[in-house]
Amino acid sequence: MRTQTRGKRALIFIQNGLGGAERIQIEISKMLIADGWQIKFCMISFNSKENKIKQFYPENVMSSEIIATSQFGLLKDIFKQIKEYQPTVVFASAMHLNQRILLVSILFPKIKFIMRNENYLYTLPKWKCRTLGLTYRLADKIIVQTEEMENEVVNLGIKNDKVITLHNPVNEKEIHAKAAAPSPFPEDGKIRFVAVGRFAPQKGFDILVDAFRIVASIVPDAELYIVGDTFYGNGAVLKTVRDKAGEYNLTDRIFLPGFKSNPYPYMRHADVFVLSSRYEGLPNTLIEALFLGTPAATTTCIPIISRIITDGKNGYTATSGNAEELAKAMIEAAKLKTITNNYKPASNEEFIEQFNRLISQKH
């Protein structure tokens, strides 16, 4: 099959969720729009009752939706979306979707396929890594978030020149504008610890509650807020958090406000931002909290954390899974008044260059 593509047209396949991968895709789409690209989003849902990410689309972009009911049906619908829109570039950012899209890519030799790898490969079973490696060879470019992630992808047998590390972008102007909303906390002098993320096991909120039990015994005016989708995974993590809070007699000091489309006032007005994750790709919430000037207590769940956080400068670190160390980091971070930010995001120009360079290449 031969396809005809014109101009700068990107078809972005995005899963219907509220994680970091989706948020970064939204940011990249804004960069491309500013560079003159025409954008269409295709949201892929595995639950037709959900409708989450669409509210964050840039204004006036084209959009469509696939409701996946079977593997074959999903491949067929992906093919249909590409054929109808005739993009210059197809872009996706979730490993399980990347594989399926790249299987379809062989039918569109004139179209460029950019995949963003949103997580570490060690989180996958070995057989999934092998199949991912086979499909990633079909990509024109693979964007990864950290140097360690780049090594993982290259070790799958992917050519070095296909893989590029671009640290996640930060939309400072938008973050500060949203953070200017009123504080969600009363002015009572209490110490607020805030975590933000969906209630998934990887976020380690069970460990966070264990750590806060220790903090609460030492800091009598401490409170913990966990902001995020509490019903993720049918509420299993929510139940664990509530059960632990009850067991520790902390229900009056642990607050679960649920999902907030604007969590930035919580992050800005917190005394400490806490990342308790077991693993991450590259934690956007931690990066954004630092840009808002909030000290962090974080697990070293991935190597780059130790390059982002310097103990005593912008926060304190703890071994992943260690509640005692995390509690100590939280207490020490609360003593910091001013911080320095070590994180250097990739620029808008660096992201845009990857798209423009591909479409300038001869087929």
pLDDT tens digit string along 54-79?
889 999 999 999 999 999 999 999 99
**What pLDDT score was predicted for residue 2?**
33
Helices within the chain (DSSP H only): 20-34, 71-85, 95-105, 126-136, 147-154, 172-179, 205-218, 236-247, 264-269, 284-291, 305-308, 323-333, 348-360
Q: What's the pLDDT tens digit per position in 133-162? A: 999 999 999 999 999 999 999 999 999 999
157/109 Cα distance (integer angstroms): 21
Asked if residue 21 lies in contact with residue 95, where contact means CB atoms within 8 angstroms, the answer is no
Domain boundaries, the chain: 9-169+345-360, 172-333
* Mean per-residue pLDDT over the chain, rounded: 93
Look up the pTM and report it.
Answer: 0.89
Angle between helices 126-136 and 95-105 (to 10 degrees): 40
Nearest of 19, 11, 70, 65 to residue 40 by alpha carbon: 11
Nearest of 140, 143, 121 to residue 21 by alpha carbon: 143
Judge whether residue 189 has pLDDT over 80: yes
13/15 Cα distance (integer angstroms): 7
318-332 as b/e: b if 16+ CB within 10 A? bebebbebbbbbbbb
254/234 Cα distance (integer angstroms): 21
212/241 Cα distance (integer angstroms): 11
Phi, psi for 329 (deg, rounded to 5): -65, -40
Asked if residue 58 lies in contact with residue 36, where contact means CB atoms within 8 angstroms, the answer is no
Q: 172-333 adopts what CATH topology?
A: Rossmann fold (3.40.50)
231/11 Cα distance (integer angstroms): 30
**What pLDDT score was predicted for residue 4?**
37
Pairing label, strands 191-196, 163-165: unpaired
Residue 297 DSSP one-character state: E
199/205 Cα distance (integer angstroms): 7
Nearest of 309, 302, 296 to residue 279 by alpha carbon: 302
Q: 9-169+345-360 adopts what CATH topology?
A: Rossmann fold (3.40.50)
Among residues of the chain, what percentage have pLDDT more than 90?
Answer: 88
Judge whether residue 5 has pLDDT over 50: no
